[in-house]
Amino acid sequence: MHSPLSQTGPSQLLASPRSAWFAAFAWALGSLNPSRPNMTALPRSAGRQADHPVDPLFIERWSRRAYTGEPVPDAVLFTVLEAARWAPSGGNSQPWRFLYSHRGSASWGAFFDLLLPGNQRWAAYASALILLASETTRLRDGQRVKATSHSFDAGAAWAQLALQAEKLGWSARAIGGFEKEKARLALGVPDDLSLEVVIALGKPAGAAMLPADLLEKEAPTSRLPLSALAFEGRFPQG
């Protein structure tokens, strides 16, 4: 699991009255810090093995179902939403919208009721449920026009949220299995918002808390090899 975000960058060091050599020395020391990701290695985590060097965070993140149910502090909730806010989007339209509910709060029942039964089985111990919606129109030259990348952009926001959660020692799992029309009515979702996913956010717990069939599945999944996904110049034919 990753340590929280605090890192001293060179600009902060240079802002002090210390001389430039000290800043360079301190930064070099920081770059040798074993807690920093080693970008020359091929990261491996719980059955996942990268084909090429990437930040270990990408390999270590996975969507858990087993959570402690403990309250999520604002520092975590707003930091994961903040990470999502900084996602890229078409024309910087930022179509993502978030509606959240804390476990045990007055709104929790309305959120939880939206989940399909198979998802309710594990999401009961999430600390928060976050509805991710996206604006289907955007402003261009003062006019509302159809947005063409709102779902794609919302996906980028979800990915950033999930990575940030992992980095804070929390976990997020996207849930497409929920009742969208019911959500629209129950949560007052405006007509021009498209419902994307509900996100379960929780503190990882031991998988033994899950029912046997889910316990069996509670492990990081693998990925197709990059060689089956990325090609140069032209797609292979046939």
Ligand X SMILES: Cc1cc2nc3c(=O)[nH]c(=O)nc-3n(C[C@H](O)[C@H](O)[C@H](O)COP(=O)(O)O)c2cc1C
Site for ligand X, rule CB under 6 A: 62-63, 119, 173-177, 197, 220-221
Please say which residue, 47 or 176, places its beta carbon nearer to ligand X. 176
Tell me which amino acid residue 207 is. A
Q: Tell the smallest beta-carbon distance from residue 48 to ligand X (Å).
A: 8
Q: How far is the CB of 33 from ligand X (least distance, A)?
A: 28
Here the contacts of 82-88 (C-beta below 8 Å, separation 24 or greater) are 82/164, 83/160, 83/161, 83/163, 83/164, 84/157, 84/158, 84/160, 84/161, 84/164, 85/157, 86/160, 87/153, 87/156, 87/157, 87/159, 87/160, 88/153, 88/156
Task: Considering the complex, state which of residue 63 and residue 137 has its C-beta at the smaller distance from ligand X.
Answer: 63
Nearer to ligand X, 52 or 234 (CB): 52
Length of the chain in terms of residues written: 238
Which residues on neighbouring strands pair with residue 137, listed in sequence order?
A: 146
Q: Which amino acid is at 208?
A: A
27 or 58: CB nearest ligand X: 58
Residue 94 or 119 with smaller CB distance to ligand X: 119
The one-character DSSP state at 2 is -
- What is the pairing mode between strands 171-175 and 143-146? unpaired
